[in-house]
Amino acid sequence: MLAKKEWFKRRKYGGWGVVPRTRNGWVYVLGMIAVAALVSVLPGLTDDIRFWLVLGWTVFVLLDIGPLMVTLPKDERERLHEALAERNAAWAMVAVLVIWLFYEILQAKMLGREALVHPALIIALLAGAAAKSVTNWWLRKN
């Protein structure tokens, strides 16, 4: 739509996504941020309207730049590096979730109360285990 492939390059460090490579890319990013900031400080808007306008603008930006993030070309080495980085990030997230789960259970046991574990924590761990199992099954099958 508005963003062009040649304006951006893949982000290699510090997260997912793209980073501006040219002056046009920086103008695009700063312009998108400026519109969101402007909408958030416009006088005469209720907080609800302001929220929905900023949310709508954010969705528009993600829909605009999302396809670029997926279609920027990668060589085989970049694919391997990205796969390793994704794997390590997933393992770090699982470790934090498991540590937090055990912390909650131990704290409840020490205080003599029922453990208050948020269901999302259990769901996230089960979803990760299911995704890994299905992926391994699929890769062995094919």
Higher pLDDT, 71 or 99: 99
For residues 41 and 91, give the distance between their C-alpha atoms in angstroms, rounded to a whole number: 40
Query: Stretch 18-30: mean pLDDT, rounded?
Result: 92
pLDDT of residue 15: 62
Query: Stretch 103-131: mean pLDDT, rounded?
Result: 88
| Structure token pair of residue 47 | 């907080």
For residues 88 and 61, give the distance between their C-alpha atoms in angstroms, rounded to a whole number: 28
pLDDT of residue 42: 86
Whether the Cβ atoms of residue 30 and residue 10 lie closer than 8 Å to each other? no
Its pTM stands at 0.56
Q: How many residues does the chain have?
A: 142
Closest to 101 in 3D by CA, of 126, 65, 135: 126
Domain boundaries, the chain: 5-71, 76-141
Q: Is 19 helix (H, G, I), strand (E, B) or coil?
A: strand
Q: Is 10 helix (H, G, I), strand (E, B) or coil?
A: strand
pLDDT at 98 over 80: yes
Q: Is 18 helix (H, G, I), strand (E, B) or coil?
A: strand
pLDDT at 2 over 90: no
